[in-house]
Structure 1
Amino acid sequence: MEENEYSGYWEPPRRRCCCARRGTQLVLVGLLTTVMWAGLLALLLLWHWETEKSLKQLGDAAIQNALQMSQNLEELQAEQKQMKSQDSQLSQNLNELQEDLINVKSQNSELSQNLNTLQEDLVNVKSQGLNEKRAASDSLEKLQEEVAKLWIEILMSKGTACNVCPKDWLHFQQKCYYFGEGSKQWIQAKFTCSDLEGRLVSIHSQKEQDFLMQHINKKESWIGLQDLNMEGEFVWPDGSPVGYSNWSPGEPNNGGQGEDCVMMRGSGQWNDAFCRSYLDAWVCEQLATCDLSAPLASVTPTGPTPKNEP
């Protein structure tokens, strides 16, 4: 009975203790909550401060970058302007160079044309000079030949024998003839006769033609007649006109590749032929010389002089 009474007596204080603990706990919870809110607020303030600081730094950096970019843009614009100016100057220089090139080409074309004209004039002058020289040489050679013939006639009128020919040459009517053999073109035969101090033969009579026929041994032979300078106008090397001729029927006809040099066939008849053809024979001639060892009177180029009597 006593225990129950004791137990019932202390029951109310236990309730007050629990209420006090709950109050303390509530206070602690409140304080803890306050502290937590204060810490959270501090953290929020700190975050906000750091954020503002970062934003300020970013803003400053952005402003600095914007200023730098603006400066760079101005520099680029200045450089672009300078490049445009340089490009304009280069374009102007290029146009000037193109104009100079056109002028140089025009001058070069004019100079080239003048040079061609001068070269043509020089060629014409040389050609004219050569023609005049050749004509003078031919005239001199013809004059010398006429003088030589006259001299021979004078000597022969005084009884001098004018029938002397070089070795291997044959005499006929005051001329000596050489009958060459070997494959040659017309120009080669001409130079060979020149080397022998003669020229390709000129034929002026039937008697001379018959004499040549007796010695050509029926071989096709080059003779001196040609129309190299003017087609159809045949001339002899001695400059004499073509009085006598012995053409084959239908000749000359200038057939084939162009026939400007004359050959004598084995039959003796003449034929115009291609000058580069090779023939096996040719005929040279030169004036015979006089034997002055046994005349009745000695003769000089100025006239005969009587021989002194003993």
Structure 2
Amino acid sequence: MEETRYSGFSERPRKRCCRQGTQLVLLGLVTAALWAGLLTLLLLWHWDTLRSLKQLEETAAQNVSQVSKNFLRHQSDQTAEQSQAAQMLQSLEELRAAQKQMKSQDSELSWILDGLQADLNTLKSQNLNERRRTSDFLEGLEEEVAKLWMELRVSGGSVCNTCPGNWVNFQRKCYYFGEGAKQWIQARYACSDVGGRLVSIHSPEEQDFLTKHASKKGSWIGLRDLDVEGEFIWMDGSPVDYSNWLPGEPNNHGQGEDCVMMQGSGHWNDILCRSKLDAWVCDRLATCTPSTASASQAPPGPALRQRS
């Protein structure tokens, strides 16, 4: 009986050992399963990462290739633009050079044209001056011939005091007192239109006569120094044997005072020829009335030339 008890008591520890072993095995299996799952997850994650990296590499390679193509195209476009800009710059420089050359040619042509125009004006002026001098010389000759003929007629008993209408006689000359604003050259032609010329004055008596009859505002007379400054001459070419200058005149004040006016006081003053005066005085030789004895022998008197 004691053995029985003893044997029953001794089998309990074995059962505990078996249970513990089973638990350990199960725990190991669970642990192994867990590690296997974990490794599987790690492998799956690794493979997925590798696939993603590969996709990223492919995408990056494509992007790099596209960027490289874009860069090369941009570089090519930039090179083309630089080449085009260089061509445009060269064309611009060529245009500037052509413009500069055209300006130079234009300046040279303008200079040549100005020179030709100056030469033409000089020739015209010389021609006009020559014609004027010739005309003045011929008029002077006619004047001298007319005066000689008048002296001859007077010595033959003729009376030389006949003047056209609106003219005033004084000492064998006729005077016309014109009115209206005119420059000197306009007054000269106005005298020519009525058959006379701007007056020449040769004595104090003639000056007193003109002072009494002329405009008190001042009148143009036929004295000027257009050809040589300071060398005054009368329209009829006669010498300046009498003068009645205002004190301090002529002074050519401001340059270009080449024509002479007679003031209301009778004194003379040189002023600009383009100035306008309200009056001018013309003169011409009076017409002689022949005596009965010389009427049949008297040739026609000389007529004053019309100035061009």
Query: What's 2:210 paired with?
Result: 212
Deviation at 1:44, TM superposition (A): 0.5
The DSSP-based 3-state class of the residue aligned with 1:178 is strand
Query: What's 1:297 paired with?
Result: 296
1:251–1:272: 8 Å Cα contact kept in structure 2? no
Which residue among 72, 75, 78 is the counterpart of 1:74?
Answer: 72
2:223–2:233: 8 Å Cα contact kept in structure 1? yes
Pairing 1:272–2:262 present:
no
Deviation at 1:117, TM superposition (A): 1.4
Query: What's 1:93 paired with?
Result: 91
Measured in 1, the distance between the counterparts of 2:184 and 2:82 equals 77
Measured in 2, the distance between the counterparts of 1:68 and 1:122 equals 78
Deviation at 1:164, TM superposition (A): 2.6
1:155–1:290: 8 Å Cα contact kept in structure 2? yes
Deviation at 1:120, TM superposition (A): 1.6
Measured in 2, the distance between the counterparts of 1:12 and 1:292 equals 206
Query: What's 2:3 paired with?
Result: none
What residue identity is the alignment partner of 1:124?
T
The DSSP-based 3-state class of the residue aligned with 2:202 is coil
Deviation per residue, 1:28-57 (Å, 9 max, x gap)? 333322222111111110111011111111
The alpha-carbon distance between structure 1 residues 131 and 158, as it changes in their structure 2 partners (threshold 3 A), is same
Instruction: Please give the residue correspondences for 1:80-119 in structure 2 after superposition, counting only pairs within 5 Å.
Output: 80-119=78-117
Return 5+ residue gaps in structure 1 as ranges: 1-7, 304-310
What residue identity is the alignment partner of 1:297?
S
Deviation at 1:81, TM superposition (A): 4.0
Identity of aligned residues (%): 56
Deviation at 1:86, TM superposition (A): 3.7
The DSSP-based 3-state class of the residue aligned with 1:232 is coil
Query: What's 2:236 paired with?
Result: 238
Query: What's 1:4 paired with?
Result: none
Deviation per residue, 1:68-102 (Å, 9 max, x gap)? 33333433444444444444444443443343333
The DSSP-based 3-state class of the residue aligned with 2:234 is coil
TM-score, L = length of structure 2: 0.71
Measured in 2, the distance between the counterparts of 1:21 and 1:293 equals 195
Query: What's 2:123 paired with?
Result: 125
Measured in 2, the distance between the counterparts of 1:123 and 1:225 equals 25
Measured in 2, the distance between the counterparts of 1:44 and 1:290 equals 154
Query: What's 2:251 paired with?
Result: 254
Instruction: Please give the residue correspondences for 1:54-203 in structure 2 after superposition, counting only pairs within 5 Å.
Output: 54-143=52-141, 145=143, 162-179=160-177, 190=188, 193-194=191-192, 196-203=194-201
Measured in 2, the distance between the counterparts of 1:60 and 1:190 equals 108
Instruction: Kindly tell me the number of residue pairs found equivalent between the two proteins.
Output: 294
Query: What's 2:48 paired with?
Result: 50
Deviation at 1:179, TM superposition (A): 3.9
Which moves more between the two structures, 164-173 or 216-225?
216-225
Return 5+ residue gaps in structure 2 as ranges: 1-5, 303-308
Which moves more between the two structures, 82-91 or 14-23?
14-23
1:193–1:199: 8 Å Cα contact kept in structure 2? yes
Measured in 2, the distance between the counterparts of 1:80 and 1:239 equals 87
Deviation at 1:279, TM superposition (A): 6.9
Larger RCO: 1 or 2 (CA < 8 Å, sep 6+): 2
Measured in 2, the distance between the counterparts of 1:48 and 1:39 equals 14
What residue identity is the alignment partner of 2:296?
A
Q: CA RMSD in A?
A: 4.3
Which moves more between the two structures, 112-121 or 173-182?
173-182
TM-score, L = length of structure 1: 0.71
1:158–1:296: 8 Å Cα contact kept in structure 2? no
